[in-house]
């Protein structure tokens, strides 16, 4: 039986917003970890969008490699909510230093104040603890790679601390859905503005309109656009 966290525990030292999103993608049979479609996607996008074609040529490797670990992406995405990639990575590294491996069992063995000492807000510490507890008691024990996108959203969005952006990260990095457009991702919006409007602010409708030409491979387009603002590939 997993132990509950207590706010009064003595911390162990560490060693070192939601935008509505209703974009959908078709289910991919056996999508988990599958990127067989990648080269086809690049060819498809390149014939429709010369800007993205040049970006893809500039960042040939690595390709996105979905890992199938849904709970890892849930936890890591909560850590990364509304902070920079650099700050999220630093917090995650402290968590790894504290626990050895960040997984539900070890999170439940770690008190809230120790989690906060890694750089998490109280709310985020509570969120990831709640996710860990749900996972350990089997509430999220489903065959994720057999679900359609809408079913993944239905199962994850009711979880405290999980919003549309976090689900998008699960769909992209864990389950390998090929046509996800994470409109709640600040980095993606900035990349689109930098590459398509000379830095001018765009509405979500304008971004969605630009992205229509990438269907049904908006995940691939998103991956390359992220690379234009961060040389290190993001990984949730």
Whether residue 124 is found in the same domain as residue 81: yes
Residue 148 located in a structural domain: no
What are the residues whose beta carbons fall under 8 Å from the beta carbon of 217, sequence distance 6 or more? 37, 41, 44, 45, 178, 179
pLDDT of residue 158: 97
pLDDT of residue 3: 30
85 exposure class (CB count in 10 Å sphere: 0-12, 13-18, 19+): middle
Condensed to tens digits (0 to 9), the pLDDT of residues 52-111 reads 999 999 998 888 889 999 999 999 999 999 998 889 999 999 999 999 999 999 999 999
pLDDT band at residue 203 using 50, 70 and 90 as cut-offs: very high
The CATH number linked to 233 is 1.10.1670.40
Condensed to tens digits (0 to 9), the pLDDT of residues 136-173 reads 999 999 999 999 999 999 999 999 999 999 999 999 99
The residue among 166 and 18 whose pLDDT is bigger is 166
Whether residue 175 is found in the same domain as residue 235: yes
Residue 17 located in a structural domain: no
Whether residue 74 is found in the same domain as residue 44: no
Domain count within the chain: 2
Whether residue 78 is found in the same domain as residue 127: yes
91 exposure class (CB count in 10 Å sphere: 0-12, 13-18, 19+): buried
pLDDT band at residue 16 using 50, 70 and 90 as cut-offs: very low
Whether residue 38 is found in the same domain as residue 92: no
CA–CA distance, 33 with 167 (Å, rounded to integer): 16
Strands (E), 16-139: none
Whether residue 54 is found in the same domain as residue 169: yes
Residue 10: pLDDT over 90: no
Q: Which residue from 17, 53, 18, 21 is spatially nearest to 217, judged by alpha carbons?
A: 53
pLDDT of residue 4: 30
Residue 221: pLDDT over 70: yes
Q: Which residue from 69, 181, 183 is spatially nearest to 131, judged by alpha carbons?
A: 69
Whether residue 84 is found in the same domain as residue 137: yes
Residue 19 located in a structural domain: no
Q: Which of 141, 156, 186 is the last residue of a domain?
A: 141
For residue 142, give Cα distances in angstroms to 139, 147, 176, 180: 8, 9, 16, 21
Residue 218 located in a structural domain: yes
Q: Which residue from 11, 199, 236 is spatially nearest to 113, judged by alpha carbons?
A: 11
Q: What percentage of the chain carries pLDDT values higher than 70?
A: 85
The CATH number linked to 106 is 1.10.340.30
For residue 91, the enclosing domain spans 70-141
Whether residue 234 is found in the same domain as residue 168: yes
Residue 93 located in a structural domain: yes
pTM: 0.84
Q: Which of 89, 109, 141 is the last residue of a domain?
A: 141
Whether residue 77 is found in the same domain as residue 46: no
pLDDT band at residue 36 using 50, 70 and 90 as cut-offs: confident
First to last CA, the chain: 28
Whether residue 55 is found in the same domain as residue 171: yes
Whether residue 50 is found in the same domain as residue 95: no
At which residue do the structure tokens 């830095």 appear? Answer: 199
């Amino acid at each position: 039986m997993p132990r509950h966290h207590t706010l009064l525990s003595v911390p162990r030292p560490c060693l070192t917003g939601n935008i509505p999103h209703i974009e959908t993608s078709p289910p991919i049979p056996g999508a988990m970890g599958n990127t067989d479609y990648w080269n086809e996607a690049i060819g498809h996008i390149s014939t429709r969008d010369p800007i993205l074609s040049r970006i893809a040529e500039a960042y040939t490797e690595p390709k996105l490699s979905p890992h199938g670990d849904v709970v890892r992406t849930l936890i890591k995405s909560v850590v990364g909510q509304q902070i920079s990639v650099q700050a999220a990575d630093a917090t995650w590294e402290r968590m790894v230093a504290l626990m050895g491996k960040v997984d539900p069992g070890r999170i439940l063995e770690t008190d809230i104040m120790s989690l906060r000492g890694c750089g998490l807000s109280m709310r985020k510490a509570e969120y990831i603890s709640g996710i860990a507890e749900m996972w350990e008691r089997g509430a999220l024990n489903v065959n994720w790679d057999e679900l359609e996108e809408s079913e993944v959203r239905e199962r994850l969005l009711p979880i405290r601390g999980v919003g549309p952006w976090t689900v998008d990260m699960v769909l992209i990095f864990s389950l390998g859905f090929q046509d996800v457009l994470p409109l709640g991702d600040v980095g993606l919006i900035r990349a689109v503005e930098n590459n398509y409007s000379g830095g001018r602010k765009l509405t979500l409708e304008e971004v969605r309109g630009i992205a229509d030409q990438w269907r049904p491979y908006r995940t691939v387009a998103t991956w390359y656009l992220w690379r234009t603002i961060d040389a290190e590939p993001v990984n949730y």
